[in-house]
Structure 1
Amino acid sequence: MAISIGIAKKDREAVAKHLSKLLADTYSLYLKTHSFHWNVTGPQFNSLHLMFETQYNELWLAADEVAERIRTLDVFAPGSYSQFGKLSSIKEESGVPDWKEMVNQLVEGHEIAAATARDTLKAANGAGDDGTADMVTGRLQAHEKTAWMLRSLLR
């Protein structure tokens, strides 16, 4: 059955392209946060272990929400590591940095994801896609708030 939600196919595809980048950033940040949750050490262990758990759970749910929005626009969502690696702007961490570097990397990751959300918001607004704009505004706020909270640990 053809989709008829009031947004032209080319506009839906353009917005989905931005959402795919946001999904890749979200998933990459989820993976990094989960790894840091497992591997954090030091005097801040308990508080960071719990904070990272809260954050990776939120990111996991966010990834699902973004992917489902892509599907709502009748576009297939990326779902492989190779696709995410090509789309994401978040650098992979294959080592185990100290807790301060973990926090630094997560601040940077949330700031990158916020910038991606901001670009996606512009695309959604340009296409008249209020549903995506609403969802992405929430993602933008979540990334900005998380970056602030993490950054506060370093001052």
Structure 2
Amino acid sequence: MALNTGMSEEDRKAVAAGLSRVLADSYTLYLKTHNFHWNVTGPNFQSLHNLFETQYTELAAAVDEIAERIRTLGQPAPGSYKAFAELTSLQEAEGVPSWKEMVEALLADNETTARSIRSVFPTAEAANDEASLDLLTQRLSAHEKAAWMLRAHLG
């Protein structure tokens, strides 16, 4: 059944493509944050263990929202490691970094994800896609806050 919500198919595909990149970055960041939660050690263990849990829990909910928005636009949501690896701007962690390297990596990845989100705004604005703009605004705010929290741990 065809969608008739006021957006052209071309616009829906373009916005969904941008959201797919955001989804890949978000899922990759979720996985990395969860990995670091499991493996963090050092003098800041408790605070970082808790911070990472808060952040990966928020990301777990976010990836579902992003994927559902892509589906609402009538497009398939990427959902495999292969698809995410092709779409993400982030690098996976190698080995088990120090607590400080973990914080620095997650800080950089949240900032990269924020930039990915910002890159989708013009496409969504041109398509008059207020629902995607609202989602993108919420995600941008979450990543900027996460980056601030991580930056605070570095002093």
* Range class of TM-score, shorter chain: over 0.9
| TM-fit CA distance, 1:94 | 2.6
Give the TM-score of the pair, scaled to structure 1: 0.99
Q: In structure 1, what is the equivalent of residue 74 of structure 2?
A: 74
Q: CA deviation at 1:118?
A: 0.5
What residue is the counterpart of 2:59 in the other structure? 59
Partner of 1:29: 29
TM-score by length of 2: 0.99
Asked if 1:41 corresponds to 2:41, the answer is yes
Deviations 1:42-90 (A, max 9, x none): 0000110011001000001000000000000000000000000010001
Question: What residue in structure 1 maps to residue 15 of structure 2?
Answer: 15
Percent identity among equivalent residues? 56
Structure 2 partner of 1:121 = 121
Would you identify which runs of 4 or more consecutive aligned residues in structure 1 move more than 6 Å? none
CA distance in 2, matches of 1:5, 1:132: 13
Aligned to 1:108: 108
2:69 aligned with 1:88, yes or no? no
Q: Secondary structure at the match of 2:31?
A: helix
- Considering only aligned residues, what root-mean-square deviation do their CA atoms show, in Å? 0.6
| Alignment partner, residue 6 of structure 1 | 6
Residues matched between the structures, number = 155
Unaligned runs of 5+ in 1: none
Partners of 1:54 and 1:35 in 2: CA distance: 13
- Secondary structure of residue in 2 paired with 1:117: helix
